[in-house]
């Protein structure tokens, strides 16, 4: 819903005045692209499917399905161009400019202020596959910059980094006379909405480890367990024979008791003669003992279940105090553009907002049982969220230059960053 609202604002905000439509979209660029790359090579997989009792193993080869990397992108943008940026778009392509294809990572898109006043906006969507991992990256925002304030609404999703959030940002802007008014200070509030971050399965659902886990597994995963009995462990009346014999291991020419809690059957190292097998939703057996199920199947099923629990909880909300700084200088032979934002205080609105996740992190560090964690009411909490970025370039000679740029985001203890640097040299004068 938030994405629809933001996109709607981007596409309709100019309709308040018929005469403003052309100006709102003037100099904006729409683009769409598709790219395809050869897949990353992976060796075939091998599995043992039989022969364990005879020693003559039956091996099954599974050929990897190598899927190519791809990216599909489209976007609409109107963002002021800084002097250090290459010209893009159809008018500039082939004339010292380049095309938009959606793969570019423009660090300055995350800066607080652009080089112009007025309306700017970005609609940017990409989906694809990278090294076998499917992803969706999307960013939408609408920004208005005035003489003394900035307002922005937006939605960001970084699929590979597993970060998604919507935001509303309102700041007062101050440009002191120092540094030739190239430095801006901003302070205001930022409201963010995001999925549940910072809580693990031990808190989101305690029934799987505080109750009878087998009953939880049946209800949560839609599977079934049934008891089986070794017929040799039954007497002639069908009663189970209690065995007090230990499991033995043949070692160094003699049978010796197996040490420890037992290798497979139970925690006592004894063979009970019975256990429970597990069937999937359509009745196929996938585990012959509780131990096999719990070690090899339960963790993955629990992860999928908790992911669903998180999704059902929806988006959590925090309102934060934000302080920012921006600096921009451009000269013919060098330039620098740097910005940063610090969010030190936050008001959590919901039970699973990060103000409680921050307390839960301390709860774990104190080695307290997860089920004893007490959720606090909505309120203010202090922790450090921040983001920053910088672009730097030096033209050492007409044919030699160096550059560096990058950005770093650290929200809710989840980092996302990109960095690049290099040197350009043009051979001339042979």
157 within some domain? yes
Sign of CA dihedral 46, 48, 49, 55: positive
How many CA atoms are closer than 13 Å to the CA of 369, on its beta-carbon side? 5
Same domain, 159 and 240: no
Give the pairing of strands 163-174 and 58-62: unpaired
Q: Give CA 230 to chain center in angstroms.
A: 48
Domain boundary among 272, 298, 326: 272
pLDDT of residue 132: 78
Q: Calculate mean pLDDT across residues 22-47.
A: 80
Q: Which of 347, 358, 350 minimizes the C-alpha distance to 413?
A: 358
Indicate whether 409 pLDDT > 60: yes
| Same domain? 19 vs 142 | yes
Assess if residue 109 is contained within a domain: yes
Which tens digit of pLDDT belongs to each residue from 215-254? 999 999 999 999 887 777 777 777 776 665 566 777 888 8
Place of tokens 């079934």: 224
Kindly report, residue by residue over 371-407, the tens digit of the pLDDT. 899 999 999 999 999 999 999 999 998 889 999 999 9
Residues 190 and 240 in one domain: no
Report the predicted TM-score, pTM, of the whole model to 2 decimal places: 0.77
Top pLDDT among 108 and 152 is at 152
192 and 237 in one domain? no
212 pLDDT above the threshold of 80 = yes
Give the pLDDT confidence of 122-139 residue by residue, as tens digits. 999 999 888 778 888 999
Contact yes or no for 119/142 (Cβ under 8 A): yes
The range of the structural domain enclosing residue 264 comes to 231-272
Residue 213 belongs to a domain: no
Cα–Cα distance measured from residue 309 to residue 194, given in angstroms and rounded to the nearest whole number: 15
| Least confident span in 27-36, 70-79, 403-412 | 27-36
Of 42-51, 148-157, 194-203, 317-326, which range is least confident? 42-51
How deeply is 82 buried, as exposed, middle or buried, from its count of CB atoms within 10 A (0-12, 13-18, 19+)? middle
Give the pLDDT score at 384: 96
The helix/strand count (H/E) of the chain reads as: 8, 19
Gyration radius from the chain CA atoms: 30
User: How far is residue 209's CA from residue 200's CA, in Å, rounded to a whole number?
Assistant: 13
Q: Locate tokens 């921040």: which residue?
A: 386
Q: How far is CA 213 from the centre of its chain?
A: 29
In a domain, 80, yes or no: yes
* pLDDT exceeds 80 at position 170: yes
User: How many Å separate Cα 82 from the centre of its chain?
Assistant: 30
What are 169's two structure tokens? 């940002």
Beta bridge mates, 64 = none
Give the per-residue pLDDT at 35. Answer: 85
End-to-end CA distance of the chain: 61
Reported confidence tier of residue 154, pLDDT bands at 50, 70, 90: very high
22 and 156 inside one domain: yes
Q: Are residues 108 and 182 in the same domain?
A: yes
Distance CA 29, CA 18 (A): 20
| Shared-domain flag, residues 259 and 376 | no
Neighbours of 223 (CB within 10 A): 18
The residue count of the chain comes to 430
Q: Are residues 321 and 378 in the same domain?
A: yes
Helix, strand, coil percentages (3-state) for the chain, rounded to 5, are 20, 45, 35
Q: What pLDDT does 22 receive?
A: 67
Q: Looking at residue 3, what is its pLDDT?
A: 55
- CA 293, CA 307: separation in Å to the nearest integer? 20
Using the structure block, give the residue that is written with the tokens 């981007």: 10
Distance CA 339, CA 227 (A): 64
- Strand boundaries in 94-243, DSSP class E: 118-130, 133-145, 149-158, 163-174, 183-194, 224-229
| Contacts with 191 (C-beta within 8 Å, 6 or more apart), sequence order | 167, 168, 169, 317, 318, 319, 320
Query: Is residue 261 over pLDDT 60?
Result: no
Angstrom distances, CA of residue 44 to CA of 49, 61, 130: 16, 7, 19
Q: Are residues 93 and 177 in the same domain?
A: yes
Element (H, E) at 321: strand 316-330
pLDDT above 70 coverage of the chain, percent: 88
- Given this model, what pLDDT does residue 375 score? 94
- Within a domain: residue 118? yes
Residues of 232-253 as b/e, b for ≥16 C-beta within 10 angstroms?
Answer: eeeeeeeeeeeeeebeeeeeee
Report the percentage of the chain scoring pLDDT > 90: 42
- Do 376 and 263 lie in one domain? The reply is no
- Please indicate, yes or no, whether residues 243 and 379 belong to a single structural domain of this protein: no
Mean pLDDT along residues 7-18: 52
Residue 119 lies in a domain: yes
Mean pLDDT, all residues of the chain: 85
**SS3 call for 21:** helix
Report yes or no on 395 lying in a domain. Answer: yes
Average of per-residue pLDDT across 75-97: 78
Q: Do 43 and 172 belong together in one domain?
A: yes
Domains contained in the chain, number: 2
Let me know if 381 is exposed, middle or buried by CB neighbors in 10 A (0-12, 13-18, 19+).
Answer: middle
Is a pLDDT exceeding 90 seen at residue 337? yes
Domain assignment present for residue 183? The answer is yes
**Beta 69-78 vs 133-145: how paired, if at all?**
unpaired
pLDDT at 18 over 60: no
State the average pLDDT over residues 28-54. Answer: 80
| Boundary-marking domain end, from 207, 239, 272 | 272
Q: Tokens 């599977």 correspond to what residue? A: 223
Per-residue pLDDT at 29: 81
> What distance in Å separates the CA atoms of residue 379 and residue 397, rounded to the nearest whole number?
56
Q: Does the pLDDT of residue 190 top 70, yes or no?
A: yes
| Last residue of one domain, picked from the residues 272, 305, 327 | 272
């Amino acid at each position: 819903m938030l994405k629809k609202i933001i996109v709607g604002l981007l596409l309709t905000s100019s309709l308040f005045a018929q005469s403003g439509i052309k100006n709102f979209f003037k100099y904006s660029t729409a683009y769409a692209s598709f790219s395809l790359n050869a897949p990353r090579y992976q060796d075939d997989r091998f599995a043992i499917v039989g022969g364990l009792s005879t020693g003559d193993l039956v091996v099954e080869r599974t050929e990897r399905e190598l899927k190519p990397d791809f990216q599909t992108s489209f976007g609409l943008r109107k963002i002021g161009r800084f002097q250090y940026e290459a010209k893009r778009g159809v008018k500039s392509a082939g004339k010292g400019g380049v095309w938009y294809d959606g793969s570019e990572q423009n660090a300055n898109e995350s800066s607080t202020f652009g080089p112009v006043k007025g309306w700017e906006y970005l609609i940017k969507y990409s989906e694809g596959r990278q090294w076998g991992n499917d992803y969706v990256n999307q960013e939408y925002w609408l920004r208005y910059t005035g003489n003394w304030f900035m307002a922005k609404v937006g939605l960001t999703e970084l699929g590979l980094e597993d970060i998604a959030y919507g935001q509303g940002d309102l700041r007062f802007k101050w440009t002191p006379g120092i540094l030739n008014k190239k430095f801006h200070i901003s302070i205001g509030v930022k409201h963010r909405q995001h999925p549940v971050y910072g809580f693990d399965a031990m808190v989101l659902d305690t029934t799987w480890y505080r109750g009878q886990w087998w009953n939880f597994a049946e209800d949560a995963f839609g599977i079934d367990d049934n008891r089986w009995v070794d017929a040799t462990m039954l007497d002639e009346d069908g009663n189970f024979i209690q065995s007090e014999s230990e499991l033995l291991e043949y070692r160094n020419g003699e049978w010796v008791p197996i040490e420890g809690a037992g290798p497979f059957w139970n925690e006592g190292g004894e063979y009970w003669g019975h256990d429970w097998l597990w069937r999937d939703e359509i009745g196929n057996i996938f585990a012959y003992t509780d131990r096999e199920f719990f070690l090899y199947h339960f963790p993955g099923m629990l992860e999928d279940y908790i992911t669903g629990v998180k999704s059902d909880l929806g988006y959590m909300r925090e309102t934060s105090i934000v302080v920012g700084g921006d600096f921009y200088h451009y000269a013919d032979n060098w330039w620098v553009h740097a910005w940063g934002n610090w969010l030190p205080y936050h008001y959590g609105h919901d039970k699973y907002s990060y103000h409680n996740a921050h307390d839960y992190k301390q709860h774990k560090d104190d080695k307290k049982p997860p089920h004893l964690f007490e959720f606090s009411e909505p309120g203010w909490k202090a922790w450090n969220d921040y983001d920053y970025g910088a672009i730097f370039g030096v033209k050492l000679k007409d044919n030699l230059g160096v550059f560096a740029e990058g950005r770093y985001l650290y929200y809710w203890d989840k980092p996302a960053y990109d960095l690049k640097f290099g040197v350009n040299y043009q051979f001339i004068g042979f």
